[in-house]
Structure 1
Amino acid sequence: MNLSNPEVTIRRINGDDKAQWLALWQGYLDFYRADVAPQVTDRTFERLGQDEQVYGLVAEDAEGRLLGLMNLVFHPSTWSAVGYCYIEDLYVSPQARGRKVSEKLFEQAYRLAETRGSDRVYWMTQEYNAPARSLYDKIGRRSSFIVYTR
């Protein structure tokens, strides 16, 4: 399940990632001016590596540093016989931006969704997140709800 190049590997999160993941998670929460209770963060981290419905991906460099995270939620839909994949969280550290880390995370999410038979991959972002929206406009379709699908 690794998507590799000389610089970045995309893989499922594991228990050894917690300290680095927490730093990325906090950066993500700070960007969105959000607070999540510590017990929710702990439970989320647990589920990302063990649960098949809530699935965590990380981007890692050759030295073992985590560069980004993507959290997926696979769920049934009343509009689909097989269900959807929702990208709930995506964050790339400021130092890793411009290295196509987000694109690599999306590629792996698409592969996972296809493997699981999901009809749709979708996500949303804040209206003010112009850099992310610039990417999303290239790789997805904007809905009237500012939800992207592929």
Structure 2
Amino acid sequence: MITITGLSNIKYQEWLALWSAYLEFYKTELNPQQAALTFKRLSDASQTDMFGYAIIKNQNVVGIVHLISHASTWTKLPYCYLQDLFIDANYRNQGLARKLIEFSYDECKNSYDRVYWLTHKSNDNARLLYNRVATETGFIQYKKSLN
């Protein structure tokens, strides 16, 4: 059985295992305090600008999605940025990432103008899915770290 639930309904350690694997996939590290703060923000039901969901298969938390709401200068309704999407390696290629994306669409469709995200150009497996569920925009991201 597969269910999707808000992160407030799962344990921190269940989320942390997936979050840590996601960070490892992108060859990055965050300190434990940042991880705790991130989960607190994502799992706080009163938080409206940052939220997330977990996908559960056979009582195991096997995937997560994190979303950030923000206003836009181009539309009346805000945008929803899908910042993170991760499925445990043992559960990939079962349609679970697609389920999380489509669930996010359903949750956002009445309150947001769009859902959008970025991925690394080398993330070929994910891009196969993304090309089926969304439109590549052709934009290139630029970044300047300030801290």
Asked if TM exceeds 0.5, the reply is yes
- Look up the match of 1:129: 123
- Shift in Å, 1:15: 5.9
- TM-score for both structures, normalised by structure 2: 0.89
- Shift in Å, 1:52: 1.5
Aligned length: 139
CA shift digits 1:78-99 (9 cap, x unpaired): 1111110100000000111121
Unaligned runs of 5+ in 1: 1-6
- TM-score for both structures, normalised by structure 1: 0.88
**Which protein is richer in strand relative to its size?**
1
1:83 aligns with 2:112: no
Unaligned runs of 5+ in 2: 142-147
* One-letter amino acid of the counterpart of residue 137, structure 2: S
Aligned equivalent of 1:58, options 54, 58, 66:
54
Q: Does structure 2 conserve the Cα–Cα contact (< 8 Å) formed by 1:124 and 1:146? A: no
User: Measured at CA, do residues 133 and 16 of structure 1 come closer, stay the same or move farther in structure 2, by a change above 3 Å?
Assistant: closer
Give the Cα–Cα distance (whole angstroms) in 2 for the partners of residues 36 and 78 of structure 1.
31
Within a 5 Å distance, the mapping from 1:5-84 to structure 2 comes to: 7-14=1-8, 16-50=10-44, 51-62=47-58, 64-84=59-79
